[in-house]
């Protein structure tokens, strides 16, 4: 296992749409393990492969006490979005920035595990928000895209100061 570097906004590689995983092999298993290690070291509660410059539809989530175990999703698809909920979000690729974002309150997601076994689950609360957030990364989107242009410019300015 290895801790990978996390890309930071406005890095254009974060805008890459991830490709469907077609091989369930040792490389995929290593990627999932590395992603968990990277997420925990950051520390965070979710990580998409796009954030570590691997453009495959793979994501990991661990919301702690809300869920009994860490979750990983290969080729995730949202099959149900219900209600609306606003929650403050942050992102490992947008360090130090937290903003309120509106998302579906309840979701259903269909995905595969690292061995190619398909599953479906429902989620709400923090887990639903986290899953939606990570799936957007796989589409090349960031939570800051949901904010006003003014806020987006302010965030980029703040991040550029942090990186100098």
Distance separating alpha carbons of residues 99 and 153, to the nearest angstrom: 14
Q: Provide the phi-psi class of 83: left if phi over 0, else alpha when psi is between -120 and 50, else beta.
A: left
Residue 134 falls in the annotated catalytic set: yes
The catalytic residue among 88, 134, 136, 139 is 134
Q: Over the range 90-119, which residues count as b (16 or more CB within 10 Å of their CB) and which as e?
A: ebbbbbebebebebbbebbbebbebeeeee
Task: Give burial (CB, 10 Å; 0-12/13-18/19+) of 85.
Answer: middle
Residue ranges in 49-148 assigned as alpha helix (H): 125-138
Structure tokens at 60: 């990991």
Q: Which residues are catalytic?
A: 134
């Amino acid at each position: 296992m290895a801790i990978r570097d996390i890309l930071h906004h406005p890095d254009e590689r974060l805008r890459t749409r991830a490709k469907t995983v077609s091989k369930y092999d040792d490389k995929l298993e290593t990627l999932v393990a590395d992603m968990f290690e990277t997420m925990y070291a950051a520390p965070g509660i979710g990580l998409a492969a796009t954030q570590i410059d691997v453009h495959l539809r793979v994501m990991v989530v661990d919301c702690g006490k809300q869920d009994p175990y860490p979750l990983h999703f290969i080729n995730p698809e949202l099959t149900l979005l219900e209600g609306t909920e606003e929650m403050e979000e942050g992102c490992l690729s947008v360090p130090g920035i937290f903003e309120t974002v509106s998302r579906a309150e309840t979701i259903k997601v269909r995905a595969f595990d690292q061995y190619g076994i398909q599953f479906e689950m429902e989620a709400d609360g923090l887990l639903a928000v986290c899953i939606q957030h990570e799936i957007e990364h796989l589409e090349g989107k960031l939570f800051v895209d949901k904010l006003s242009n003014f806020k987006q410019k302010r965030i980029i300015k703040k991040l550029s100061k942090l990186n100098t």
